Amino acid sequence: MSENKFKVLEPVRGNEAKSKASAPGPSLFSGLEKKMKLESYFEEGFPVQYLPKILFVVLLSLIYISNTHFAEKTTRKIDRLQSDVEDLRADYTTLKADIMYASKQSEVARRVKELGLKESLNPPFKVVVDRSEY
């Protein structure tokens, strides 16, 4: 069975240490940290006096984020409902046109011909009844 082995690195001395340790330049965050002197705030522990302000800012951030998510969700829902309304309006128009066509006198006559009914050729007449008759 093989053993777990690890490589022990020895410190590099001389000119090699300068060439390997030198970075391209100070990073943005290290420069910010030096200018703001953040170490001085945490020397004696966590500053509890700022805790309510920090929590208030965190709460406002969470409310802002949740409001943004809610607005985006509502916008997506509105878009989806508008497309559904357009589809339903198109269906309504199509069905209305079909019903208008099917209810024409010629179409009704054609359909009832299969049942053995035929269209009357005599126009309808008005039956007049005197008041004394009934």
Residue 127 DSSP code:
-
In sequence order, which residues have a C-beta less than 8 Å from that of residue 101 and are 6 or more positions away?
107
Question: Stretch 39-46: mean pLDDT, rounded?
Answer: 75
Where in the chain are the domains? 15-117
Q: What is the pLDDT of residues 64-101, one digit of tens each?
A: 999 999 999 999 999 999 999 999 999 999 999 999 99
- Judged by average pLDDT, the poorest of 26-35, 79-88, 102-111 is 26-35
Over residues 8-27, the pLDDT tens digits come to 666 666 555 455 555 566 78
pTM of the model as a whole: 0.49
Q: Which of 45, 44, 24, 28 is nearest to 36 (CA)?
A: 28
Quick check: 5 pLDDT over 80? no
Dihedral sign for Cα 60, 64, 65, 69, please. Answer: positive
